[in-house]
Amino acid sequence: MKKNVVIGIVGVIAVIVVIILFSVNKKCEVQINTKGGTIYQNQSLKCGETLQNITDPEIPGFKFVEWYDEETGEVFDIKTPITKNMKIAARYNQLAE
């Protein structure tokens, strides 16, 4: 009985180690769509890091409102650590003339 428990524990530890090693070096790709505003290069970074050198994009006649996740439509805070490949896009409001 004890032998089976030890084998089970070793197996669980091995799985945890593999997950940690995979996570540490995993890259996340972020596609950035400004919808015609300031152009930013897509970013490749270690998962868990945040986007770099992103400011509010500009389009004449529009005010930037927010970034959002194109897959879910949910608002995306650019200070949030990236945990998966994703596409973000800018949302604007047209200014009154």
Please tell me the distance from the alpha carbon of residue 78 to that of residue 33, in angstroms, as a whole number: 13
Instruction: Quote the tokens at residue 48.
Output: 């868990």
Residue 31 makes CB contacts below 8 A (sequence gap 6+) with 42, 86, 87, 88
Percent of the chain with pLDDT over 90: 64
Q: Is residue 51 part of a domain?
A: yes
- What would the pLDDT profile of 58-84 be if each residue is shown by its tens digit? 999 999 999 999 999 999 999 999 999
Q: Is residue 32 part of a domain?
A: yes
| Count of domains observed in the chain | 1
Q: Which CATH number fits the domain that encloses residue 50? A: 2.60.40.4270
Q: Is residue 72 part of a domain?
A: yes
- What would the pLDDT profile of 5-51 be if each residue is shown by its tens digit? 666 676 667 666 555 555 567 899 999 999 998 888 999 999 999 99
Q: Is residue 20 part of a domain?
A: no
Type of residue at 71: E
Q: Is residue 22 part of a domain?
A: no
Q: Is residue 4 part of a domain?
A: no
Average pLDDT along the chain: 86
Domain span at residue 65 reads 27-94
